[in-house]
Amino acid sequence: MAVRTAQSKEAGRVPLPLTSRTDRWWIKPLLTVIVLGFFALYGMFRAFENQYFEFGPYLAPFYSPHLPIHLNLFGWNVSPAIYILIFPLSFRLTCYYYRLAYYRAFFWDPPACAIAEPAKRKNYTGERRFPLILQNIHRYAFYAAVVIFLILAYDTVRSFFWDDGFHVGLGSVIFVVNIIPLAMYTFSCHSFRHLIGGKVNCYSCTLASRTRYGIWKQVSFLNARHSLYAWVSLFSVLIADLYVRFVAAGAIQDFRFF
């Protein structure tokens, strides 16, 4: 049960979030701030870096697809990663799970269950008005994410084919390991679950509705673990991108199994 002290109200200051909880409830939001904050900084760095994104058949996920677009703004070569990033970023930013995570960790809205918010927000309209109404683009961001996923899956297959033939390098293995949680994350999305199982009045009436029901049950199974896939896929993308960056920059050598 959340409580606030009378003194903090009298002092007229923003009261600290007070609670009768005695566990370390603050660890989760703190970790969220650290991990998401780091990922945001890394994403920005990579988006602007505009180099070290390709080595042999390896293409860094942040720079995929390899678009033949070369924008030049006032002498500055705009990195293609900036306009590629818009799609996966809008998918992750509007994801129902990530909303929960960053509303709690960054906005303290509230920071955890049974913890008071730091201050009452005036004119709070939730996600019904600008800017948070933009969260509703999630279903469309999902379609873009599926396209990006298919491109990354193609990159994964392509990573085995070098100029001198078929090889298995550590980079290809990392790409394969990356694509699995990415698939789990993309296809455990709430929007996909609704797309598969929503707007059906009778699941047993036709072959099509029975098929949809079968797929919906599988998606629901994945959906229950959506938060896990959200975190694992975040790290797997990061590791795949870092690996290509280091190999392309010559900082490490690609280990070839055969």
The candidate with the shortest Cα–Cα distance to 143, out of 102, 201, 180, 90, is 90
| DSSP codes of every residue in 136-204 | GGHHHHHHHHHHHHHHHHHHHHHTTEETTEE--BHHHHHHHHHHHHHHHHHHT-HHHHHHHHSS-S-SS
233 CB burial (10 A radius; 0-12, 13-18, 19+): buried
Q: Could you tell me the smallest distance in angstroms from the CB atom of residue 186 to ligand FES?
A: 7
Length of the chain in residues, anyone? Answer: 258
- The single residue among 116, 174, 182, 189 that binds ligand FES, judged by CB under 6 A, is 189
CB atoms within 10 A of CB 69: 9
Based on the shown chain and the rule CB under 6 A, indicate whether residue 106 belongs to the binding site for ligand FES.
Answer: no
Judged by beta carbon, residue 96 or residue 108, the one nearer ligand FES is 96
CB of 136 to ligand FES, least distance (A): 12
- Scanning 3-11, 45-53, 94-102, 122-130 for contacts with ligand FES by CB under 6 A, the matching segment is 94-102
101 touches ligand FES by CB under 6 A: no
One character per residue 128-167, x = contact with ligand FES (rule: CB under 6 A): ----------x---x-------------------------
> Which of 19, 178, 191, 233 lies at the binding interface for ligand FES (CB under 6 A)?
191
Q: Which residues make Cβ contacts (< 8 Å) with residue 251, sequence separation at least 6?
A: none
Q: What's the min distance (Å) between Cβ of 36 and ligand FES?
A: 14
Give the interface with ligand FES as residue ranges (CB under 6 A).
91, 95-97, 138, 142, 189-191, 226
